[in-house]
Amino acid sequence: MKYLLLIILLINLNYCFIIDNNNRGQYKISEKLINKINDNSNNLKIWIEFTVKDISHHNDNSFVDNSSGDNLTKKQIIDLIGIHNDSIERRSKRIASTIDIDNHDLPISDYFIKEVLNCNNNIILNYKSNWLNSISISIKNKNKKQLKDIVNCIQKKSFVKNLDLVLKYKNNLNRKNNSNDNDNNNNNNNLKFQNKLLELNIKNNYSNKTINEIFNNTNKVKLDEKFYGLSYKGLKQANIDKLHQEGYYGTNIKILIIDSGFYKDHESLKHINYIGEYNYVDKKNDTQDEFDPNLTDPTMSQNAHGTATLSVIGGFAPGKLIGSAFNASYFLAKTEIIFEENLVEEDYWIAALEMGERMGIDLVTSSLGYKEWYRFSDLNGKTTRISKAANLAIKKGLVIVISTGNDDKKGIDSPTDSEYVIAVGGVTPSGHEKSFISSMGPSSDGRIKPDIMALGEQVQIAYFTGKDHYRLEIGTSFSSQIVAGGIALIMEKNKDWNAYQIYEAITKTASKANNPDINMGYGIFNAYAASQYNPSKHSCIEVGCLNNGVCKSKNDYPYDGHSFEDVVIGHCKCPPAYYGIQCQYKREICNQELCNYRYGVCQINEFLKENNSLSYNCISPNNIKKLKVNFDPNILILKTNNSTNNSNNSSSSSNNSSDNTNNNSLNKNNNNNNNNSISNEKFILIICIIVGFSVLIITILLILSIKLFLNIKLNIKNNSMI
């Protein structure tokens, strides 16, 4: 009997753990991926994130091979990763930390990749992301059952953290705005202009000798409207021409431009110093496609958009078109697929970004944004993969400039939601208002976006249909290139400025620096004024934090990783109402109309008595736990690693301290949900164990009942015999 009960108990517990393991695997798979599999898609691209790496990095800047225990030198790591010296030099010059190689740089485990590929012979490895410890794979021509089997094989690997869909974005960067919104119906004049894009044929009155004199800084050439041609309006509006007059053209600044194909044979692009190129779509080292004269719609050419954006920043054809940074060096990355749907895949963009950083690129510019698969509530600068990658790049010393997109009230894309990605919107030629299609902010967590503005209408571009063809265009794609080129000149002039100082300089000197808003951000870019600005060169370790922020002074900080791991050393961790290096910026209260328009709901903070208790966050209506909160957003709550309070948790510019005793009570209601909640995995396991023991108890009772019944029957029989 004892052995029978033991066997029943073991069977039940074993069954519970089988269920638990299966559920653990299911929780690794995102809802988007599950839905895609159920749609029986024949072409599936998947992100696979791993839990650990083969090599670990320690705070003393040492590296250890986890499998062998061997110490590795910094040179061995650099050679293993393939980081160029230019990247190391840029990191040492443009980041605040003394650590120039970190865990994010370390390579993905080859063993993990091999194990994943062994799940099926038809799995194709696309790209690796060291920064995200992830790979993207393709699974093609498989039915639903086969897809499920492959995904199930992958998720069962103990080293697999999660699986998600590689998102594809339907490019609408320069589409005609067909919205029926009343606001857009009032823009008939703009629409007439948009439909009247002229192909231009301009005579060149500048000789090669004159061009050489410009590049040699002889100051013999007058840089006036005649020299700039139709590019003059955009460059003059941003005061970029003044930096040109000082002899700054982007020299020695390396720029990565991520876009579609590039018609490098155009006369305005022939002078460019190309330091490399890669076609991530076709996996080859050429980003220029052959022109197809039979195209019924020329905008479907692979070379159309990339050629236009490259010309606005790097073009040089005096009298016709002058780019904002015409003497910079360029690396071209083609990541966009120009077919009927204009699909852009996010793994291409991330791969291009990591590659550019390793090569020593200084500045990244792109007119591609991702929103199609994301909820607006995800656009908080920390959720999407592409924003995470952008944040890491900035921490490594890169400056990133992205167009906000042409969606007006529908809002910004990712990665423009990232805090220090410079999001560029478009303005009219007068500069009095934003272009009617330029996307509005803010981010879903209330930060001012766009950051800066530049000309977004009547922008002169190189047109891919001929070597000397030009055109006037509209769109934030071109606004961002004007700004990116201007920033390249600022970097040329101020060689030691990092991304945060550049951000401060351009926002503090823009036309609306004192009254930013969600339409035009901090206003029109002023490159010349920004180049003369004196940004803060001190970290919070020296000057403290504003608005009750907490300064991160070292890597091994006493606060839990979720609170502090995303903060750069020398920067402040801010209370919910503030953001910025020193917590100097105040978030915008959630706009109910815009939030609802973007399929979100404004979070309610019952602690706030003004503005109908609206918080700063536009969240998903499905996020029931966070629909209502109750805490003071002006006070920062931090949890120490040993769960004890630290009397110095908060600092301000005046006394660098605050009372944490009240913080816990203020945040009590907000934390109750998290502290009292049980994860689905644990819940299922607990229920299963309860059921198992219930079955065991019922079995015992049944056995005892049978035994009792038999005893009674035996007693009756014995009594009858007596």
- Indicate which residues carry an active-site annotation: 259, 305, 477
3-state secondary structure 280-327: CCCCECCCCCCCCCCCCCHHHCCCHHHHHHHHHHHCEECCCEECCCCC
159 with 112: CB under 8 angstroms? yes
Residue 358, token pair as written in the block: 């390793």
3-state secondary structure 382-449: CCCHHHHHHHHHHHCCCEEEEECCCCHHHCCCECCCCCCCEEEEEECCCCCCECCCCCCCCCCCCCCC
340 with 115: CB under 8 angstroms? no
- Please name which of 378, 371, 301, 376 lies closest in space to residue 342, comparing C-alpha atoms: 301
Return d(Cα 403, Cα 422) in angstroms, integer: 8
546 with 653: CB under 8 angstroms? yes
Residue type, 307: T
Tokens 């944040």: give the residue. Answer: 391
Tokens 């110490």: give the residue. Answer: 71
Residue type, 39: D
608 with 615: CB under 8 angstroms? yes
Return d(Cα 274, Cα 81) in angstroms, integer: 23
| CB-CB neighbours of 415 under 10 Å | 30
First-to-last C-alpha distance (Å) of the chain: 31
Residue 401, token pair as written in the block: 């400039």
455 with 234: CB under 8 angstroms? yes
| Secondary element (H or E) of residue 124 | strand 123-129
170 with 446: CB under 8 angstroms? no
